[in-house]
Structure 1
């Protein structure tokens, strides 16, 4: 009897737990069904590679819904219409924009919503669009795929140029250049002592040049002092001399001005008396010359020249 009672209690406990779990599942299902959603269409003018039904829809990085359907536009197969179901509380407004983005490094794509300024009115259904349409923007992924061909061409061109640079002839030239550089470095290493001597001599020459410049500076300073002191004194003396000359010239001018009448009288009368005096002086000189000539003619008599010799008998 006791064993049967234990089995009854275990069975009753199991049934109770099952009923509680079933009630919890029904409550969660009811709660999920009571949540309100809104459907929107997003029209893409690019390939939606990596995007599939059930894909995530995020608003500034926060999940707000999922993709429920993907289809081509009936009027333009170049466009893709993505039907998304978003939480009714998502702030979808008329300036909200959608674009594709990559989900990590998995290669899966998701839809990223952005925009929606507070002043913009909410995006609501209209008679023309019962399902509101969210405009899309070109994504960085699309730009990368569009420029993929250009990147490949550029990469091929770079590889071709690298192949030309690393050709056999260029490799030989590079090897020759490296060999010459090695030889040059060896020669420089052998001349290291000479370089040291040259540097030492250059240092000594620099020291001598510094001394010479110091002496030149001292000479320039002395010359400058001489110019500033002695030359100034000389200029002052010269100025004094010029002032004295000026005073003498002024005095001479005043003297001439005071004796102008006497000088004029001398010029009129004295010069007239000098003329006859000069004429008389000329006559006197002429008479003296004649007397000199006569004396020269009779110098034999005066000096005893040409005296007659006495007769001497043999």
Structure 2
């Protein structure tokens, strides 16, 4: 009897538990049916991988509804429409925006609503003709769409890196590093000479600066000399040219006025030519006589020949 009583109690408890669960499910269903919803269409211009019917709709991080339907645009299959239902008391405004967001690390997506200023009018959602909210481009969706290209580029990068770090290139790099180390060692050994060379170069630079300063001073002095004395020389030359012009003008005038007298004088000079020649001959003869008188005065005066000197 006791065993049968235990079975009855267990069966009764099971019936009560199942009945309670059914009543709770009916209550949840009734509350869901009785609750008012607003319906909106969200337009996407990119793929919506990870989004499905039943995905959550959040507004500023709070769940306000879910996705009821997904379909492609008949005229443009590149675009996707998602119909959402949100609680009727959700303040959807005319400037409310939508975007895709990652729900968890498994890749599930949700629709996030954001924006909407207090001054904007409310956007009423009708189940028969729901208004359209154009979704913002999602950087995450673009990344997922271009993931294949990204992986291909990464693969190409790795292949190029493998080619760069091949055994041949590694050997060349090792030789280059060895040569660099040798060059560094040589420079380290000759750093004394290098320091001396740099010091000499510094002295040469200082001397060059001194020479340039002297040249600059000389140029300034030359400019001052040209400015001060060059102007006076030019003024003197200008006065001299002016005086020469006046003298030339006077000479031209004098020649024009005495042209006749000069012509007669030139004729007189022509008549003096024979007399001058005769005078020249006389002077030559007199010079010869004087020379003979100096050489042998006794012979010239007495008509004797020049006495010979006696040498014992």
State the TM-score bracket (shorter-chain normalisation): 0.5 to 0.7
Rate the CA distance shift 1:108–1:124 in 2: closer, same or farther, 3 A.
Answer: closer
Q: Is the 8 A contact 2:40 2:125 kept in 1?
A: no
Q: List aligned pairs for 1:66-105, cutoff 5 A.
A: 66-67=65-66, 69-70=68-69, 82-90=82-90, 92=92, 98-103=98-103
Counterpart check, 1:38 vs 2:35:
no
C-alpha distance in 1, partners of 2:40/2:300? 168
* Aligned residue number for residue 195 of structure 1: 194
Give the SS at the match of 1:155.
helix
Matched, 1:132 2:133: no
Q: Which residue of 2 aligns with 1:109?
A: 109
Q: 1:278 to 1:130 in 2, by over 3 A?
A: closer
**Structure 1 pair 124–33 and aligned structure 2 pair: CA distance change class (3 A):** closer
**TM-score using structure 1 length:** 0.63
| Partner of residue 208, structure 2 | 209
* Distance across 1 between alignment mates of 2:98 and 2:197: 75
> Is contact 2:50-2:107 (8 Å) kept?
no
Separation in 2, partners of 1:145, 1:165 = 30
Distance 2:211 2:182 in 1: 41
- CA displacement at 1:52 relative to structure 2: 5.8
Question: Any gaps of 5 or more consecutive residues in structure 2?
Answer: 1-29, 285-298, 306-312
* Preserved CA contact (<8 Å) 1:41 1:133: yes
In 1, Cα distance between the equivalents of 2:250 and 2:66?
125
Q: CA deviation at 1:207?
A: 1.6
Counterparts of 1:205 and 1:285, CA distance in 2: 76
- Aligned residue number for residue 11 of structure 1: none
* Mapped partners of 2:79, 2:237: distance in 1: 107
Q: 1:41-73: CA deviations, max 9, x gaps?
A: 5576734415562x43134x3546221645667
- Distance (whole Å) between structure 1 residues aligned to residue 42 and residue 281 of structure 2: 150
Give the Cα–Cα distance (whole angstroms) in 2 for the partners of residues 121 and 101 of structure 1.
24
Aligned partners of 1:95, 1:181: CA distance in 2, in Å?
65
Residues 97, 136 of structure 1: 8 Å contact kept: yes
Equivalent residue number for residue 5 of structure 2 = none
In 1: Cα distance, 2:280 partner to 2:47 partner:
142
For residue 132 of structure 1, give the secondary structure of its aligned residue in structure 2: coil
Cα-to-partner distance string for 1:180-221 (whole Å, 9 max, x where unaligned): 111111111111111111111111111211222222222222
Partners in 2 of 1:280 and 1:171 — Cα distance? 116
Residues 200-209 or 251-260, more deviating:
251-260
| Whole-Å separation in 2 of the counterparts to 1:245 and 1:198 | 65
What's the counterpart of residue 228 of structure 1? 227
Partner of 1:238: 237
* Counterpart position of 2:169: 170
Number of equivalenced pairs? 265
Tell whether the 8 Å contact from 1:97 to 1:134 is kept in structure 2 after alignment: no
Does the CA contact (< 8 Å) of 2:64 and 2:87 recur in 1?
A: yes
Counterparts in 2 of 1:223 and 1:264: CA distance versus 1, 3 Å: same
CA contact (8 A) 1:40 1:84 kept: yes
Q: Secondary structure at the match of 1:112?
A: strand
Provide the aligned C-alpha RMSD in A: 4.7
User: Displacement, 1:135?
Assistant: 5.4
